[in-house]
Amino acid sequence: MKTETKRAVRDAFAKLAPRCQAKNPVMFMVYLSACLTTALFCLSLAGIADAPSGYIVAICLILWATVLFGNFAESLAEGRGKAQADALRSAKRDVEALVVEEAVLAEAADADDALAALVARAQAVNSASLKRGQVYVVRAGEQVPADGEILMGAASVDESAITGESAPVVRESGGDRSALTGGTTVLSDWLVARVAAEAGASFLDQMIAMVESAARKKTPNEQALELLLIALTLVFLVVTFALYAFGSFTAEGAGEANPLGITSLVALFVCLAPTTIGALLSAIGIAGMSRLNAANVLTTSGRAVEAAGDVDVLLLDKTGTITLGNRQAAAFLPVNGVDERDLADAAQLASLADETPEGRSVVVLAKERFGIRERTLSGAGFSVVPFTAQTRMSGVDFGGHEIRKGAADAVRAYVEGLGGAYPAQAAALADEVARSGGTPLVVARDGRVLGVIHLKDIIKSGIRENFADLHAMGIKTVMVTGDNPLTAAAIAAEAGLDDFIAEATPEAKLAAIRRYQAEGHLVAMTGDGTNDAPALAQADVAVAMNSGTQAAKEAGNMVDLDSSPTKLIEIVRIGKQLLMTRGSLTTFSIANDLAKYFAVIPALLVPLYPGLEALNIMHLANPASAMLAAILYNALIIVALIPLALRGVKYREGTPTSLLARNLAVYGLGGVAVPFVAIKALDMLMVAVGVA
């Protein structure tokens, strides 16, 4: 923390360059005001002044402090990203890459030692020279030279340099885990991958640029607020000139010098302008992105962070998000007088070669319920029938017998194809299991249906409460699943979801997002596969899993480095916290300015218009002490609010109406009360020390 503070102090002075200051129009006006009072102080040393030198130098120093405090707030927010960027940059280095021609791959695949065949034909080049589309080989113990899409092989990969997680992950070709990130390290085996990004445009390069905030673009809401602040600043600039003109006219009529000197009017302008929120606005946005980075989420768009706070429809994948992801066998349901043990025995045989969690749970349940020991299929005469997307069944053939296990309609077609009858009781049991939220698997032996296996989806603990919080925020939750409508409806009801999309295809997901957007909603979703890419590209907030494919990561505007589907809920909360923080500090700033008008203007104009003494309700000692107290408070309040801007306002669930009411009560009334107390205390201090 000390290092970040030292860097922020150094950067605060570096940002005094006019080019840097011009990026923030409100604070640029304060910067020009500080320059003007510096010139006035120099003139006062030469005997040309409209106020005592001590008063001018005090105003000058406070204005420069105000500029530096604003720079410090932004630098401190940026410092968090720079620290993370330094850690990421240390993971990025040039290494030797083994490049092979794509034509070599087919030849190597047929060789006894494919790796040796590839390495023998490979050419060593520097990773910095790799071009998109080139193919490289990476072996155990070597660093991945560039982002890539795996073409051959499977390996354990250490991604701790990117994700912070020490546990290695498996990356392989042909699935949703086929993306390789440059800078990670292969721990075992080997991989062949095609380069997916040009040098300087890799995933790691994007991360470094974003966390440094150098590439952060202002969001539409931020730009709109900045325009409002600029408009208010111009209005108060006109007001200040008008006050000077009125002062000159009144003083000339009375045959006196204008008591409203340029120094006081410059200070008054800075007090009236919305400098508090102007100084903190950029820091609030950067800090919001830093909170996402801290949650291990990379965002490639500041607009997406803000959109997350306005999201009102969430599309959530069922498996791994709402349910634990591994369905478990819960019961054997025999039909037409079949003994339950016989059903369990056949189900276990059909599942012995099924290495999925569901298949293993069937084996375990048969063993637990009936003591049927797990057998081996290595004996002669056993032939495994693997599961395929076309047949949607699996099983085993042995000794002239056929056992099949699969989806109800697939088994029905199989049985009827053999000339058998599909029992009405099996259809009824399958429907009952589906309506209860489970998945039915029908078991048949030699063309005869024995019964149904009830696979149960386990709803995650606490997920219903999470959805209740989202409902309180006015967010509609929609489950996306490949299950049939009956199963989807049961799980949605148990989890407390608003709606579901059953038997979801890539086209169905895309159509659903477009439909919600056409109705005026902002939609968020997660995805990890290539088939999710079209929907991710369409969604307003699209969170791709780091474990997913390159296509999914390129289509999304956020990447969850932890690959946790439930992270979407946390992202929405961080987005809403960003909006709440900006709204709260804007309310406080405007309320502050309102209070300063009543505190300072009457005291400043009393020499011109004595009747305004009645409005000097704070009984400030004199115009000089009032002005110094107000402008000093204006500088110090920026420092006081920096921790809140960086940490964010405490997130609370609630309706927009309740949140607005609380915001006005706490930050509106607080913003009015605090300046009166602080300015009066500072005025008394100025008089006590003899400054004014």
Token reading at 521: 């909603």
Calpha distance 221→301 (Å, rounded): 14
Calpha distance 34→39 (Å, rounded): 9
Residue 121: closest CA among 132, 105, 110, 144: 105
Calpha distance 363→195 (Å, rounded): 42
The letter for the amino acid at 451 is: G
2 is in an annotated binding site: no
H/E stretch holding 480 reads strand 476-480
DSSP output for 431-494: HHHHHTTEEEEEEEETTEEEEEEEEE--BPTTHHHHHHHHHHTT-EEEEE-SS-HHHHHHHHHH
354 is in an annotated binding site: yes
DSSP output for 39-60: HHHHHHHTT--SS-HHHHHHHH
Residue 194 DSSP code: E
DSSP output for 66-112: HHHHHHHHHHHHHHHHHHHHHHHHHH----EEEEE-THHHHHHHTSS
394 is in an annotated binding site: yes
Half-sphere exposure of 49 (CA within 13 A, CB side): 19
469 is in an annotated binding site: no
In the chain, the N- to C-terminal Cα span, in Å, equals 38
* Strand partners of residue 135: 100, 194
390 is in an annotated binding site: yes
Calpha distance 640→139 (Å, rounded): 54
- Three-class SS of residue 254? coil
21 is in an annotated binding site: no
Calpha distance 571→305 (Å, rounded): 8
550 is in an annotated binding site: no
Calpha distance 146→157 (Å, rounded): 14
State the greatest distance between any 2 C-alpha atoms of the chain, in Å, as a whole number. 122
Query: 340-351 and 357-370 helices cross at what angle (nearest 10)?
Result: 140
Q: Is the dihedral of CA 369, 371, 374, 377 positive or negative?
A: negative
Residue 35: closest CA among 50, 20, 17, 53: 17
387 is in an annotated binding site: yes
317 is known as an active-site residue: yes
H/E stretch holding 298 reads strand 297-299
The letter for the amino acid at 554 is: E
Residue 505 DSSP code: -
Question: Strand 499-501 and strand 476-480: pairing?
Answer: parallel
Angle ∠(525,527,533) on CA atoms, nearest 5:
100
Token reading at 692: 């004014």
Calpha distance 247→622 (Å, rounded): 17
Phi-psi region of 169 (alpha: psi -120 to 50; beta: other; left: phi over 0): beta
Calpha distance 686→626 (Å, rounded): 9
* Active-site position among 50, 317, 345, 560: 317
- Residue where the block lists tokens 């092989």: 153
345 is in an annotated binding site: no
Half-sphere exposure of 392 (CA within 13 A, CB side): 12
Residue 526: closest CA among 479, 488, 487: 479
Angle ∠(66,235,69) on CA atoms, nearest 5:
10
- Three-class SS of residue 166? coil
CA distances 55 to 29, 35, 620, Å, are 21, 16, 17
Binding residues for ATP: 354, 358, 387-394, 405
Annotated binding site for Mg(2+): 528, 532
Annotated active-site positions, please?
Answer: 317
Annotated binding site: 354, 358, 387-394, 405, 528, 532
